[in-house]
Amino acid sequence: MSVIGSPASRAAALRVHGGLGRSVRDSLVVAKRNLIRMIRIPEVVIFGLIQPIMFVVLFSYVFGGSIAVGGSTDPSTYRQFLMAGIFAQTVTFATAGAGAGIADDMHKGLIDRFRSLPMARGAVLTGRTLADLVQTALTLVVLAVVAVIVGWRIHEGVLKAVAGFALLLLLGYAFSWIGALIGLSVRTPEAATSGGLIWLFPLTFISNAFVPADNMPMVLRNIAEWNPFSATVQAARQLFGNLPEGYPVPAAWPMQHPVWASLIWSVLIIVLFRTLAVRKFRSATA
């Protein structure tokens, strides 16, 4: 009898398939639990929408006529340029909420209860990050409506626009794993919130999100051009058709190939921080 058709090999294949299927089912159960919790506490979603809407209004109407993009200080040009940065900032700032939620579950002992159940080890974190992804997607929909109201438009067609939003959500999902690791590494939700935001501000502001990187000092410009956040912003602008006429595209590889750079950065972040977060989860104590 061949090895492929042996009972032992078929049993091993069933175990692998069953383990993967159980992990998916457990992750979806945890995601459903977190989504129900969000529905029952709608103020969390509402307050999460206020900050990005404020950023849209403030940057559009307060700074719009003061920042030159592609040699133009026209506020409408800046609004087209700005929105991809606001979208990206919104999906990454959800990291702090993800970390705080996991830290709160640990503080209340809920994580220990999950760990005592016969379920896949990574399902708790995967379910949590999937639920956060759904919330982030809803936030993006509302934010896009607000952006259209203030004058933002898509110029490259629906399919490319969907691809742009998909890259933004992939970046948000990748960063939610950073938030998960932070939430597992601290003792209180307050510490997770602070730890989740303290590194996001330099990451998002030393980038091409709000101003062109070529206006920065050389060191900061190099950091901005190789920043994974900048790659996703540039990719979204390209797919939305929001790069202003005359806007100089930097020579750095991520800026020349932003879609590929965004995909590579997001996948690397997911693989690295998911591995670290699951390992931390297995050894964590409340």
Higher pLDDT, 40 or 200: 200
Per-residue confidence (pLDDT) for residue 172, from 0 to 100: 94
Per-residue confidence (pLDDT) for residue 24, from 0 to 100: 84
Q: Is the pLDDT reported for residue 10 higher than 60?
A: no
Per-residue confidence (pLDDT) for residue 160, from 0 to 100: 95
- What's the whole-number mean pLDDT along residues 188-195? 82
Determine which of 40-54, 139-153, 222-236, 238-252 has the lowest per-residue pLDDT on average.
40-54
Tens-digit pLDDT profile for residues 22-74: 778 888 888 888 788 777 777 777 777 787 888 888 877 777 667 777 666 77
Higher pLDDT, 96 or 90: 90
Judge whether 171 and 232 are in contact, CB under 8 Å.
yes
Per-residue confidence (pLDDT) for residue 229, from 0 to 100: 96
* Three-state secondary structure call for residue 110: helix
- CB-based burial label for 254 (10 Å; 0-12, 13-18, 19+): buried
CB atoms within 10 A of CB 150: 18
Integer Cα distance of 110 and 91 in angstroms: 26
Judge whether 235 and 266 are in contact, CB under 8 Å.
no
| 19 confidence band (pLDDT: 50, 70, 90) | low
Give one DSSP letter per residue of 196-246, joined into a string.
HHHTHHHHHHSSSSSS-GGGS-HHHHHHHHT-HHHHHHHHHHHHHT-PPTT
- What's the whole-number mean pLDDT along residues 135-151? 89
Integer Cα distance of 49 and 27 in angstroms: 26
Judge whether 261 and 236 are in contact, CB under 8 Å.
no
Percentage of the chain surpassing pLDDT 70?
Answer: 87
Percentage of the chain surpassing pLDDT 90?
Answer: 33
- What's the whole-number mean pLDDT along residues 76-102? 87
Q: What is the reported pTM? A: 0.85
CB atoms within 10 A of CB 242: 24
Determine which of 73-77, 115-119, 126-130, 223-227 has the lowest per-residue pLDDT on average.
115-119
Higher pLDDT, 71 or 131: 131
